[in-house]
Structure 1
């Protein structure tokens, strides 16, 4: 926690049961760290699916919790802006705050499309095909190095390691320093005052360390942008080679965080889900072709990015509620992916869920995650290799969760592998 009074489980239970709905503030990192946020979001979804919090920990905001409403907002970019200058894409972002920078995800049309199309080829089927062998080699190396019969942290040994190597390849960063990317990503999404980031000054210093390292790479790419890494593509793009330093750094931040948090937390969640729902692992062992549906169901069940934010550009009525121009609107993906109107028995993990791909973990419309297919590929290849090695991965304790309202993830997951396949 961040030094504040340590609340007990009873505190949250009592609050959730007794607090009037108009006083509920779900946007508190403590709720996410303790695993209670989904229950608070469920209450909002059932009682006030378009809910105004007038005086929350991060000021006033609207919570939108139903799948259909979030999908509609994502598709209406004229009414609901993502632009950095209008407030950006997170609950806490503000254009005058130095920890938040412009990037193509925090842009509205037409600039969003102009910058996105330069980066998109890095995630094309051809490029993913070229990366496949590296992903498989790394998955084998990582899994073959795991201890048998000994407790270890899956997040550190597997989730972070594979994610770091993939990010380094994608960005053209030296592989021997790949874990720099994870450390920088963790700082970029940390809330000042949290254990990972005690002060804003410390956060900005770590961010600057990242930008200084990539500025050197950027200058080299401007001179010779012939590679297939993302910085080469940005340096070679007519619309992007003249990016301002803030826009370059903002896009780097986006690519590092997007490539880290989504995949890393999904890899961890896959082990947790198949431990909690052992019949689903049995189904997977019986028919490995079910792996095709593993990733979308993991992304739905886990939801590694808890929310995105939009700003209302005009007065609008949503779900019978009057949203004023300039209001902050939070799209709770974590709620949409558990919306009972869309997903039956939504709290259960089902490897054969027919509509798992309707999840909103990658967003919808023009802002749908550009790296979605790479995340799918990493997790699928890793599990292809797991199935040939380990009949069981036992989770020993509840995971340690992230102190964040933006990333819905894990800082640690202790596991033990009893034995390998003979």
Structure 2
């Protein structure tokens, strides 16, 4: 959290800005962690709010819990199709044939999602637990005690990249390339650096994707296996006419989703415990509380800050008429702090009566496919952390992801103590 002075200044700016001029998509609000008072004001005064001009064009903001659920659950009126804008606030479109399934509407969405869903059943997730625990123990036992290290690098990225390598049967020694793909997509450059770095970023991204195309060719020759890449290749629905460049949309989606929800929630939990140290001590005394603490971590962090839809017809939401073709942004990060639904939302409460009452995983047909796996990884790593460390102290300013889509951290300097 920013210091009290920064929050007071952000609050003053949020309430001094004319309502029609508020733009909650500004990336600097997320990198400074000062977006909270802007969303607070919108929930109170304009829960369905039109921003006529932003870096990303005009858009509607949906900021209350109930309205978010209404939009997310109505895929007929609010489309995810990449051909008319897709799922993020960023402008642009993508051809249907190269889209990931999250950028499709039914029935194509349902057909493609069904291909990879066998790896995310409750039974399959339970099978992963011993392996994840073994890896978490190894990672945590190698951490220096009383010395400064980067929690994001040594714990969050390391554990999630190992899981991604397992899900894709990706070369284990190259596992760190998988979250790098996500970072290249999600980190928004400073405006003054945008043109200068465009070519460099594209070159890095192409270099990271090339091994995935090579693996596609190998797996196609090997025949059916049970990893994500093989499932995508072996099914005619997702094989994309034997064109490896077209199948990459689904691969990238699963890399981003598999890395970021877990990785940034893991780091977000650390920051929550820094702000509410009594919660960490309560969990050490009673680890069973992790069953409710884990969904509270998802709510608190809201690793996916927003999802976008496009209206397919004129429709009213929250008393506002949204016209066909307009961009509608569901701010999960705001819905998860909606006090009309979630009691005392500004507190991190590890034993909430209804801890799963949050929009962190979305609703409807696009609800996060890997939510069980994400929660299980969080539970395992924090079970093992609680056993080993009396406290973990943040000793420097965290470095936040430059993104208004995924809310997360690039680095957090910490020290751990027995």
TM-score with structure 1 setting the length: 0.93
1:401 aligns with 2:382: no
For 1:369, the equivalent position in structure 2 comes to 368
Please tell me whether the aligned partners of residues 11 and 38 of structure 2 are also in contact (alpha carbons under 8 angstroms).
no
1:26 aligns with 2:18: no
> Of the candidates 129, 145, 157, which is equivalent to residue 148 of structure 1?
145
> What SS is found at the alignment partner of 1:77?
coil
> What SS is found at the alignment partner of 1:408?
coil
Aligned-partner Cα distance in 1 for 2:406–2:191: 14
Aligned-partner Cα distance in 1 for 2:322–2:246: 30
Please tell me whether the aligned partners of residues 225 and 233 of structure 1 are also in contact (alpha carbons under 8 angstroms).
no
Please tell me whether the aligned partners of residues 11 and 37 of structure 2 are also in contact (alpha carbons under 8 angstroms).
no
CA distance 1:307–1:284, change in 2 (3 Å): same
For 2:216, the equivalent position in structure 1 comes to 218
Encode CA deviations 1:36-84: one digit per residue, 9 max, x unaligned: 1122111111110000000112110000000100101111111000010
Aligned-partner Cα distance in 1 for 2:62–2:246: 29
Aligned-partner Cα distance in 2 for 1:298–1:24: 28
1:37 aligns with 2:40: no
> What SS is found at the alignment partner of 1:357?
coil
1:256 aligns with 2:255: yes
Report the alpha carbon displacement of residue 191 of structure 1 after superposing the two structures with TM: 2.0
For 1:274, the equivalent position in structure 2 comes to 273
Unaligned runs of 5+ in 1: 1-7
Aligned-partner Cα distance in 2 for 1:130–1:96: 36
For 1:187, the equivalent position in structure 2 comes to 184
> Of the candidates 115, 120, 123, which is equivalent to residue 126 of structure 1?
123
Q: Mean alpha-carbon deviation: is it higher for 121-130 or for 283-292?
A: 121-130
Please tell me whether the aligned partners of residues 188 and 253 of structure 1 are also in contact (alpha carbons under 8 angstroms).
no
Encode CA deviations 1:209-233: one digit per residue, 9 max, x unaligned: 2321111111111122332210111
What pairs up with 1:105-116 in 2 under 5 angstroms?
105-116=102-113
Aligned-partner Cα distance in 2 for 1:221–1:182: 21
CA distance 1:232–1:96, change in 2 (3 Å): closer
CA distance 1:94–1:142, change in 2 (3 Å): same
Report the alpha carbon displacement of residue 242 of structure 1 after superposing the two structures with TM: 3.4
Please tell me whether the aligned partners of residues 222 and 241 of structure 1 are also in contact (alpha carbons under 8 angstroms).
no
Aligned residue-pair number:
410
TM-score with structure 2 setting the length: 0.94
Aligned-partner Cα distance in 2 for 1:302–1:12: 19
For 1:319, the equivalent position in structure 2 comes to 318
Report the alpha carbon displacement of residue 333 of structure 1 after superposing the two structures with TM: 0.2
Report the alpha carbon displacement of residue 12 of structure 1 after superposing the two structures with TM: 3.9
Report the alpha carbon displacement of residue 129 of structure 1 after superposing the two structures with TM: 2.7
For 1:4, the equivalent position in structure 2 comes to none
Aligned-partner Cα distance in 2 for 1:19–1:252: 41
Aligned-partner Cα distance in 2 for 1:168–1:196: 32
Unaligned runs of 5+ in 2: 1-5
CA distance 1:258–1:32, change in 2 (3 Å): same
Encode CA deviations 1:313-343: one digit per residue, 9 max, x unaligned: 1111111111111000000000001100111
1:74 aligns with 2:72: yes
Aligned-partner Cα distance in 2 for 1:101–1:204: 18
Report the alpha carbon displacement of residue 282 of structure 1 after superposing the two structures with TM: 2.3
